[in-house]
Chain A
């Protein structure tokens, strides 16, 4: 007999479990439409792999895990995906969340199974991958990805594996019935988990109000290393931390994980799901759901597909909607009310509780707290709920944190015993959310401050740089002036020299240095534009050679640059014509000019040799070729669904070319006629 420990506090609410275990597990069947939320677990929502209209087979992966703490989602039956959209889900807020909606075809056609024949000779990593791919998330209620829990590093050796068959919440019997009917699967799954973790001890904890489940498990576990432990019933002994304390006497450090003290805890349902995944190759697509409460005529447990709407089960159990005043997912202690009976069953739905108003009456309005201390006696975390309530009510969140608000497991024992009917748990939930919000706000404000300061620094730096540049220019100018002055002063009086130099400068300016600089500017413009054109053309060619997408955009650029070059050349020409060739330049470059003139004359001769008709025809042909090419490209772009910007550019090009072609054709006709 194993030495058992006790945890502080706890309560004994009426169990109400007998109603739903009078019959075995009933199969719920396949509803017409299944709604599968992408987030049925703790962590990142899974990412859809399918699209609306696609046909899927039973067990096919519909969405893959997004990140480490996430699990995939599978089709519970074969059918067609009709939408991936926001649907109402089982959440206390009543908000919607993205869901895959599947219309079943009734064929229930499986994908191929890939069981692992002999898990004992399989790599640990491969088993973990198999569990992960099967989409298993803690079936006890929290829905933490099982594979993540199992993947403890070598720095944390596991000495105890605990399988949680406690099910301490009143009304719920899903685990109870599972233990009775599928004890072998649970034991097998437990052994697989043990194979992965290699613990010294393997314990299955069952409360002593489930003698039948206990003896069935005991029988199934005989001969294995698994020890099935029965312990006195007390709520909330099924809480992970409480169960660990009962079985081992150890406490999970605050803010830590059971793995920190060498313990991993899994729900019996998860163990059975691991068995199904590894031995049968079936992903997690269904679960056992207790449907109970006085507003159903035949409380029982259903084997239901994930995504089944709650009313589908409720109707089979004889739901009397007019008697039902609130619909609870989970048990009466920690379950939450759902917005309607249409919300789907998810991986964490262990119970649908439909009580009548007499059965679970609504709390009367709260009376003042008289600090009677019953809550502190009931608190399994040894908190002082009355103090926490005081702080939460007064929004003294810092004090609440000091009183370990975040160690509250929200089990509801304090609210249950409170003689003043104070909704304590709601206070704690709100206070926790508020504290987290404050933390996030502080983080955001710190982030904003850094960004603001970075911006300020950048602006200052820019201003400083500008200032520095100006100062440098000024300094250089001064330096130059000083050097020049020094050079001049070697022979003459520096002042005289400076005056003369200034005079000379003025004179030179008057003499048309302005014109010269204008000319220089134009020439420079031509040269740089040509250079740019050259580089752009090379790039364009390279891009064309590679068949890159941006070639068209480059083409546009080249065209533009060419236009600019033409404009610059024209401006230069105009200027030169207007001002005449400057003396100095002409004098210096007589030979060059001569050569250029000769070259130009030669070119003109060559051109003159061609008939105007030929010329026009050549030009037209060239243009037509370009137009054709452009049109082809535009067409290709349209088909490929190119970006709007590129399409607009392409269209503009084609349009322009068309105009040019038209003009060229006119010219050609004209020349032909004459």
Chain B
């Protein structure tokens, strides 16, 4: 047998891209369970339908681009996008909404730029923002949490998603919405007036955030990503909230705890900000990237037009990531100064 001639290294570590993606999928499970527990099967149906669509769109795009389909589907990246978008969308979203969202994510944000690894923007967030701008009504109608309203059963949920016309079940403003709309009540009164506010940041929301935090910690433990970006994001978000918190007046932006545990904070910090493809690469770069996302989230939440802001903040910083990379090259061994910037 002829001897092979290939380049070193000849040994290879056990990690594979598909394994990384599997870990990310696995880490969303606690969050999914909590969401399902509080809001019913809506999110689960979102995720499943989105996954089916993601695989279909991915296969279509690969076919059009004449790439080996099996090889690229095996990296699970499309599934990750689908799960993330499915979680981000309101439960019981109509099927066409998810379809438009997945098409934007996979076809527009991912394959138009060259597929996995080449997309400058987080595909799930692109899909989310396309929907948020195009269908604001559907995108802001969130199901009421358990206790505040009645949860639909599985069949009802499916019906809600796949029958023409909107799901006309009860929807309810999220705590972030309420806080934004509020201009007369003290925060304390707001809590008492709205049953969905729960203990810290809204029934369901607080537990969902804690569950995503747990999933994120699992990923950190598995060394899927480094702590820098999420911690920086959470730190600046807390800092901003603390700076602007005035003890709960009617114009208050909400307490730091409220911001940490409401909306998509933890989900964003550990599942969106950590998307390696579209974020900055160096350690310092990731710190800056995360920190600026945290600041932007607070600014948009409190001073902007949209109740939640993770998607916008992440997309804006995706845009800035190459620039951050340019100026945050690490100091190479044997160099006095860090490179770049010149």
A contacts, CB < 8 Å to B: 7-8, 11, 13-14, 92, 94, 170, 241, 245, 251-256, 321-322, 324-328, 330, 332-341, 353, 355, 360-363, 365, 367-374, 376-377, 380-384, 386-387, 402-404, 407, 410, 412, 415-421, 423, 425-426, 429
Q: Mark interface residues in B1-20 (1 if CB within 8 Å of A CB, else 0).
A: 10111111111110111011
Known: A387-B281, A402-B340. A326 touches B77 (CB 8 A): no
User: CB within 8 A of B10: which of A321, A332, A386, A407?
Assistant: A332
Give the dominant DSSP class at B's interface: loop
Are B7 and A423 in contact, with the CB atoms below 8 A? yes
Are B3 and A256 in contact, with the CB atoms below 8 A? no
Cα–Cα, bound, A333→B331 (Å) = 24
Q: How far is the CB of B247 from chain A (nearest CB, A)?
A: 41
User: CB within 8 A of B3: which of A327, A332, A335, A423?
Assistant: A327
Are B16 and A419 in contact, with the CB atoms below 8 A? yes
Are A336 and B334 in contact, with the CB atoms below 8 A? no
Cα–Cα, bound, A380→B332 (Å) = 9
Known: A322-B1, A367-B75, A371-B281. A8 touches B333 (CB 8 A): yes
Are A373 and B13 in contact, with the CB atoms below 8 A? no
Residues in B whose Cβ lies below 8 Å from that of A321: 1
User: CB within 8 A of B333: which of A327, A387, A407, A429?
Assistant: A407
Cα–Cα, bound, A64→B280 (Å) = 54
Cα–Cα, bound, A386→B112 (Å) = 22
Cα–Cα, bound, A402→B332 (Å) = 11
Residues in A whose Cβ lies below 8 Å from that of B225: 372-373
Q: Which residue of B lies closest to A367 (CB)?
A: B17
User: CB within 8 A of A337: which of B4, B15, B72, B331?
Assistant: B4
Q: How far is the CB of B292 from chain A (nearest CB, A)?
A: 18
> Ordered nearest first, which 3 A-B pairs have the shortest CB separation?
A412-B9, A368-B117, A254-B334
Known: A8-B333, A362-B4, A382-B332. A334 touches B17 (CB 8 A): no
User: CB within 8 A of A325: which of B3, B7, B334?
Assistant: B3
8 Å CB interface, B130-154 against A: none
Which of A362, A374, A381 has its CB near the most chain B CB atoms (within 10 A)? Answer: A374
Residues in B whose Cβ lies below 8 Å from that of A415: 8-9, 12
User: CB within 8 A of B116: which of A253, A333, A338, A370?
Assistant: A370
Residues in B whose Cβ lies below 8 Å from that of A410: 8
Are A254 and B332 in contact, with the CB atoms below 8 A? yes
Are B334 and A371 in contact, with the CB atoms below 8 A? no
Are A372 and B20 in contact, with the CB atoms below 8 A? yes
Residues in A whose Cβ lies below 8 Å from that of B9: 332-334, 412, 415-416, 425
Known: A368-B117, A377-B226, A383-B332. A426 touches B11 (CB 8 A): no
Q: Which residue of A lies closest to B321 (CB)?
A: A371
Are B13 and A11 in contact, with the CB atoms below 8 A? yes
Q: Mark interface residues in B204-221 (1 if CB within 8 Å of A CB, else 0).
A: 000000000000000000
Are B333 and A382 in contact, with the CB atoms below 8 A? yes
Cα–Cα, bound, A402→B20 (Å) = 30
Subset of 16 A-B contacts with CB under 8 Å:
A8-B333, A241-B334, A251-B333, A253-B336, A326-B5, A326-B10, A328-B8, A332-B11, A335-B8, A336-B7, A339-B5, A362-B6, A373-B281, A384-B330, A407-B334, A416-B12
Q: Which residue of A lies closest to B19 (CB)?
A: A419
Are A381 and B333 in contact, with the CB atoms below 8 A? yes
Residues in A whose Cβ lies below 8 Å from that of B282: 376, 384
B250 interface contact, C-beta 8 A:
no
Which of B1, B19, B325, B333 has its CB near the most chain A CB atoms (within 10 A)? Answer: B333
Cα–Cα, bound, A672→B340 (Å) = 105
Q: How far is the CB of B99 from chain A (nearest CB, A)?
A: 26
Known: A254-B335, A376-B281, A387-B325. A339 touches B10 (CB 8 A): no
Q: Which residue of A lies closest to B332 (CB)?
A: A404
Are B117 and A13 in contact, with the CB atoms below 8 A? no
Residues in A whose Cβ lies below 8 Å from that of B4: 325-326, 337, 362
Are B11 and A373 in contact, with the CB atoms below 8 A? no
B329 interface contact, C-beta 8 A:
yes
Cα–Cα, bound, A8→B335 (Å) = 14
Cα–Cα, bound, A188→B123 (Å) = 64
Q: How far is the CB of A415 from chain B (nearest CB, A)?
A: 5
8 Å CB interface, B315-342 against A: 325, 329-336, 339-340
Q: Which residue of A lies closest to B71 (CB)?
A: A365
Are B335 and A404 in contact, with the CB atoms below 8 A? yes
B303 interface contact, C-beta 8 A:
no
B304 interface contact, C-beta 8 A:
no
B115 interface contact, C-beta 8 A:
yes
Residues in B whose Cβ lies below 8 Å from that of A373: 225-226, 276, 281, 286
Q: How far is the CB of B168 from chain A (nearest CB, A)?
A: 42
Residues in A whose Cβ lies below 8 Å from that of B118: 368
Cα–Cα, bound, A167→B279 (Å) = 37
Q: Which residue of A lies closest to B285 (CB)?
A: A384
Q: How far is the CB of B193 from chain A (nearest CB, A)?
A: 46
Are B5 and A94 in contact, with the CB atoms below 8 A? yes
Q: Which residue of B lies closest to A427 (CB)?
A: B7
Residues in B whose Cβ lies below 8 Å from that of A360: 10-12
